[in-house]
Amino acid sequence: MQTIATSVDDSFQRMRDKLEAEKVRPHHAMDPYFYRSHLVHEQELEHLIFKSWIYALHVSEIPSVGDYQLIEIGEDSIIVARTETGEIAAMHNICRHRGARVCEASSGNRKTYVCPYHGWVYNIDGSLKVARETHVMPDFDASAHGLKPVKCVTYMGLVFINCDPDAGDLVASLNNIREPLGAYDLEHAKVAHRQTYRVEANWKLAIENYLECYHCATSHRAYARLHTLKDLEEQSAPVVAKMLERADEITGVPGISKEHTQIYLDAPSFGACAHTMRYGLFDGFVTGSKDGQPVAPLMGNIKAYDGGVGDFQMGPLTFMLNYPDHCVLYRFIPRSRTETEMELVWFVRDDAKEGHDYEVDKLTWLWHHTTLEDEYIITRNAAGVNSRFFEPGPYHPEFEFTLQQFVHWYLHSLEASLDYTPTTLAAKTRRPEVAFSAAGRTILLTPHGDMKRVLVLKRHIAIGR
Ligand code: FES
Ligand SMILES: [Fe+2]
- In this predicted model, what pLDDT tens digit does every residue of 52-80 receive, in sequence order? 999 999 999 999 999 999 999 999 999 99
**Domain final residue pick, 88, 123, 154:** 154
Alpha-carbon 57 to chain mean position: 12
One domain, residues 432 and 345 = no
One domain, residues 64 and 190 = no
Burial class of residue 372 in the structure, from the number of CB atoms within 10 Å of its CB (0-12 exposed, 13-18 middle, 19+ buried): exposed
Residue whose CA is at the smallest distance from ligand 1 atom 1: 98
- In this predicted structure, what is the pLDDT of residue 422? 62
- In this predicted structure, what is the pLDDT of residue 430? 54
Q: What is the CA(283)–ligand 1 centre distance, in A?
A: 61
- Distance, CA of 267 to CA of 261 (rounded, Å): 8
One domain, residues 44 and 89 = no
Which listed ligand is nearest to 130 at the C-alpha?
1
Atom of ligand 1 nearest to the CA of 118: 3
- In this predicted structure, what is the pLDDT of residue 8? 83
The whole-chain average pLDDT of the chain stands at 90
One domain, residues 66 and 110 = yes
Residue 450 belongs to domain spanning:
12-50+392-461
**DSSP per-residue string spanning 309-362:** EEEEEESSSEEEEE-SS-EEEEEEEEEETTEEEEEEEEEEETT--BTTTB-HHH
The pairing of beta strand 128-130 with beta strand 121-123: antiparallel
Tell me, what DSSP letter sits at residue 30? P
Which listed ligand is nearest to 113 at the C-alpha?
1
Q: What is the CA(450)–ligand 2 centre distance, in A?
A: 5
Q: Which residues 6+ apart lie within 8 Å of 234 measured at CB?
A: 444
- In this predicted structure, what is the pLDDT of residue 121? 98
In a domain, 3, yes or no: no
| CATH code assigned at 363 | 3.90.380.10
In a domain, 424, yes or no: yes
Ligand 1, from 77, 92, 95: best to mutate by most atoms within 8 Å of Cβ?
Answer: 95
Q: What is the CA(275)–ligand 2 centre distance, in A?
A: 19
One domain, residues 122 and 230 = no
The pairing of beta strand 339-349 with beta strand 436-445: unpaired
Question: 314 — phi, psi (to 5°)?
Answer: -135, 105
User: Are the C-beta atoms of 100 and 116 separated by less than 8 Å?
Assistant: yes
Nearest Cα neighbor of 243 from 349, 363, 324 is: 324
Q: What is the CA(134)–ligand 1 centre distance, in A?
A: 12
One domain, residues 428 and 343 = no
- In this predicted structure, what is the pLDDT of residue 241? 92
Q: What is the CA(115)–ligand 1 centre distance, in A?
A: 6
Q: What is the CA(348)–ligand 2 centre distance, in A?
A: 23
Atom of ligand 1 nearest to the CA of 95: 2
In a domain, 441, yes or no: yes
Tell me, what DSSP letter sits at residue 146? S
- In this predicted structure, what is the pLDDT of residue 421? 67
Q: Which residues 6+ apart lie within 8 Å of 20 measured at CB?
A: none
User: Are the C-beta atoms of 425 and 416 separated by less than 8 Å?
Assistant: yes
User: Are the C-beta atoms of 185 and 340 separated by less than 8 Å?
Assistant: no
| CATH code assigned at 106 | 2.102.10.10
**Domains held by the chain: number:** 3
Residue whose CA is at the smallest distance from ligand 1 atom 3: 118
One domain, residues 38 and 59 = no
**Cα angle at 275 between 171 and 358, to 5 degrees?**
90
One domain, residues 143 and 128 = yes
* Residue ranges around ligand 1 (CB below 6 Å): 95, 97-100, 115, 117-120
In a domain, 127, yes or no: yes
- In this predicted structure, what is the pLDDT of residue 48? 97
* Farthest CA pair distance, the chain: 77
59: left (phi over 0), alpha (psi -120 to 50) or beta: alpha
Nearest Cα neighbor of 429 from 451, 450, 449, 413 is: 413
- In this predicted structure, what is the pLDDT of residue 451? 34
In a domain, 379, yes or no: yes
Ligand 1, from 117, 122, 133, 137: best to mutate by most atoms within 8 Å of Cβ?
Answer: 117
Residue whose CA is at the smallest distance from ligand 1 atom 4: 118
One domain, residues 289 and 252 = yes
- In this predicted structure, what is the pLDDT of residue 202? 97
Atom of ligand 1 nearest to the CA of 115: 2
Nearest Cα neighbor of 49 from 199, 150, 122, 183 is: 150
pLDDT digits (tens, 9 = 90+) for 149-162: 999 999 999 999 99
Nearest Cα neighbor of 34 from 351, 412, 301 is: 412
Atom of ligand 1 nearest to the CA of 100: 1
- Distance, CA of 345 to CA of 195 (rounded, Å): 7
Q: What is the CA(343)–ligand 1 centre distance, in A?
A: 31
Tens of pLDDT along the chain (465 residues) come to: 566 777 788 999 999 999 999 999 989 999 999 999 999 999 999 999 999 999 999 999 999 999 999 999 999 999 999 999 999 999 999 999 999 999 999 999 999 999 999 999 999 999 999 999 999 999 999 999 999 999 999 999 999 999 999 999 999 999 999 999 999 999 999 999 999 999 999 999 999 999 999 999 999 999 999 999 888 988 889 989 999 999 999 999 999 999 999 999 999 999 999 999 999 999 999 999 999 999 999 999 899 999 999 999 999 999 999 999 999 999 999 999 999 999 999 999 999 999 999 999 999 999 999 999 999 999 999 999 988 899 999 999 999 999 999 999 999 999 999 987 666 666 666 543 333 333 333 333 333 333 333 343 323 333 344
**Cα angle at 454 between 450 and 266, to 5 degrees?**
85
Burial class of residue 98 in the structure, from the number of CB atoms within 10 Å of its CB (0-12 exposed, 13-18 middle, 19+ buried): exposed
Which listed ligand is nearest to 403 at the C-alpha?
2
Atom of ligand 1 nearest to the CA of 119: 3
Ligand 1, from 77, 112, 120, 145: best to mutate by most atoms within 8 Å of Cβ?
Answer: 120
**Domain final residue pick, 154, 188, 211:** 154
**Domain final residue pick, 154, 189, 213:** 154
Torsion angle, CA of 123/127/131/136, rounded to 10 degrees? -150
Ligand 1, from 96, 97, 114: best to mutate by most atoms within 8 Å of Cβ?
Answer: 97
